[in-house]
Every structure is written in C-alpha cells, then in structure tokens.
Amino acid sequence: MPQETNTSTILGYLQAIRGYPFDPEVDAAFLAELLDDFSSIDLLEQIKAFRWHYDGDPARHFKSLRPAIRRWLSAAKRFDREPF
C-alpha cells in the first residue's frame, strides 16, 4: 500500500519539473483524477521516477507531459512496478 502523500506536495513537485506546463486549476483536477484512477500506487514516487527516467527533463521527450505521466502510471499499475 502506498504512503499517503499530501496533494500540495505532488502539485509542487509537478510545478518544479522543468518544462511542465503547470496550471493550478488544470493540475488540481488532473491530480484528483490520478489519485482516483491510481489509488493503489504511490503517485509521488512514480512521478519522481518518471522525471528522472528522462534525465530530469521529460519535456524534451514528450509533446504533452500529462498524457505521458498517465501512460507511465498505467504501466506502473499494470505491471505492479516499483519506482526505479
């Protein structure tokens, strides 16, 4: 079972990712959806793994980061993958 993580901590981490198109309203709704859809995994740890898997700059690799994060989390859930 993942640790309980404060949503403001996750939002702050998303905002700190280089190139992430942070929007407080959009990302609050995005995070609420992620928390609901991926309740069985530790979102903060998976988002950190996503960021560092792409050398701290995932925006260089993806046109749109929100769908890329959803795909990463879907794979983590499907394969019961722990962060790297």
The single residue listed with the structure tokens 């995932």 is 58
Dihedral, 21, 27, 33, 36 alpha carbons, nearest 10: 110
pLDDT band of residue 74 (cuts 50, 70, 90) is very high
Distances in whole angstroms, Cα of residue 46 to Cα of each of 50, 66: 6, 13
pLDDT band at 1 (very low <50, low <70, confident <90, very high): very low
Distant-in-sequence contacts of 57-61, Cβ < 8 A, 24+ apart: 57/18, 57/19, 58/17, 58/19, 58/20, 59/17, 59/18, 59/19, 59/20, 60/19
Average pLDDT over residues 29-35: 97
pLDDT at 55 over 80: yes
What is the Cα–Cα distance from 23 to 81, expressed in whole angstroms? Answer: 28
Predicted pLDDT of residue 6: 86
Q: How much is the pTM? A: 0.84
| Structure tokens that stand for 44 in this block | 């903060």
